[in-house]
């Protein structure tokens, strides 16, 4: 989303992008964040319309916190922001995939990825330690 265009034209563009997304009954859409360089899947979180809009408008990932019931910029307190490189919408229009450039660890446990528990036989095994 270029930011030098006139407001009305820019807003029309954002509206058009948002209108193609199917939000669920709670007004949310799941968004997968994938490291644009390594291809590693880092996390999955939810966005409301406002979070999608802010993501598109700023170029940084915003999500909706279901526990705090508000949208937030990823990394706003930790500094672990996600710069958006590319955004994809799936065939049903109800899931987003963000290719991002991650600053610091993506996971609130301080691990690079939230997917650090691997199934090994009948156990979920931690395969990654928090970054010190």
Which residue, 78 or 117, is less far from its own copies as judged by CB? 117
By CB under 8 A, name the one of 59, 65, 70, 86 that touches its own copies.
Answer: 86
Q: How many CA atoms lie within 13 A of 76 on its CB side?
A: 9
By CB under 8 A, name the one of 78, 118, 129, 131 that touches its own copies.
Answer: 118
Residues 22-81 that bind its own copies (CB under 8 A): 30, 32, 34, 38-41, 43-44, 56
What phi and psi values does residue 111 have, to the nearest 5 degrees?
Answer: -95, 155
21 close to 85: Cβ distance less than 8 angstroms: no
By CB under 8 A, name the one of 20, 68, 77, 79 that touches its own copies.
Answer: 20
Q: How many CA atoms lie within 13 A of 35 on its CB side?
A: 16
By CB under 8 A, name the one of 3, 8, 92, 132 that touches its own copies.
Answer: 92
Which residue, 76 or 90, is less far from its own copies as judged by CB? 90
Which residue, 24 or 76, is less far from its own copies as judged by CB? 24
**Tokens 């407001």, located at residue:** 7
What is each CA distance from 42 to 4, 36, 39, in whole angstroms? 31, 10, 9
By CB under 8 A, name the one of 2, 8, 69, 79 that touches its own copies.
Answer: 2
């Amino acid at each position: 989303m270029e930011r030098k265009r006139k407001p009305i034209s820019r807003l029309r563009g954002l509206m058009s992008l948002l209108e193609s997304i199917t939000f669920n009954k709670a007004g949310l859409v799941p968004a997968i964040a994938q490291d644009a360089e390594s291809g590693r899947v880092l996390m999955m979180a939810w966005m409301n319309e406002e979070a999608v809009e802010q993501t598109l408008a700023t170029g940084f990932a915003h999500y909706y916190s279901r526990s705090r019931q508000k949208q937030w910029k990823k990394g706003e307190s930790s500094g672990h922001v996600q710069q958006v490189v590319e955004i994809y919408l799936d065939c049903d229009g109800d899931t987003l995939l963000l290719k991002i450039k991650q600053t610091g660890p993506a996971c609130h446990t301080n691990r690079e990825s939230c997917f650090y528990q691997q199934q090994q036989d009948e156990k979920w095994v931690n395969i990654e330690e928090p970054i010190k």
